[in-house]
Amino acid sequence: MADNARAKRLADLIREVVAEKLHRGIKDPRLGTHVTVTDTRVTGDLREATVFYTVYGDDEDRKAAAAGLESAKGVLRTAVGAAAGVKHTPSLSFVADALPENARTIDDLLARAKASDEEVRKASSGADYAGGADPYRKPGEDEQAEDE
């Protein structure tokens, strides 16, 4: 079992090698400049690596990029093995990163909250306070009320 620091270093190396190879070495048109490697995780025994990626484009581009990455898996693993110099080169699996969809969902929620706040602000613009402008009792007011 490898220590976490070694797994982290290997994950960083795999991320750099895969990104560089996708940018310069792979000639597959499905893997254009719209594929970005976002993160890499390696298991504790350094046998398997998961590469997270994002694709900027529509669903068709995402499907094409996934197919292109699966077909280039062997070439990418060979490049990782040459760069890493470890006894066993980790097997690579590619997972589409959900970060852009999550960010889009959060943006939509924030926009709805802002619209709701604006509606509340408009509704309360001409409203009066429930207990008057100053709803608190003053010490001298009680004595005046009793005298009357």
Which domains, from first to last, does the chain contain?
Answer: 4-97 (3.30.300.20)
**Reported pTM:** 0.69
Is the pLDDT at 120 greater than 60? The verdict is yes
pLDDT by residue (tens digit) across 46-56? 899 999 998 88
35-42, strands of its sheet edge to edge: 35-42, 48-55, 91-96
Is the pLDDT at 110 greater than 80? The verdict is yes
Mean of pLDDT over the chain = 84
How far is 75 from 97, CA to CA, in rounded Å? 22
Contacts (Cβ under 8 Å, ≥6 apart) of 45: 1, 2
- CA dihedral of residues 98, 22, 64, 93 (deg, nearest 10): -60
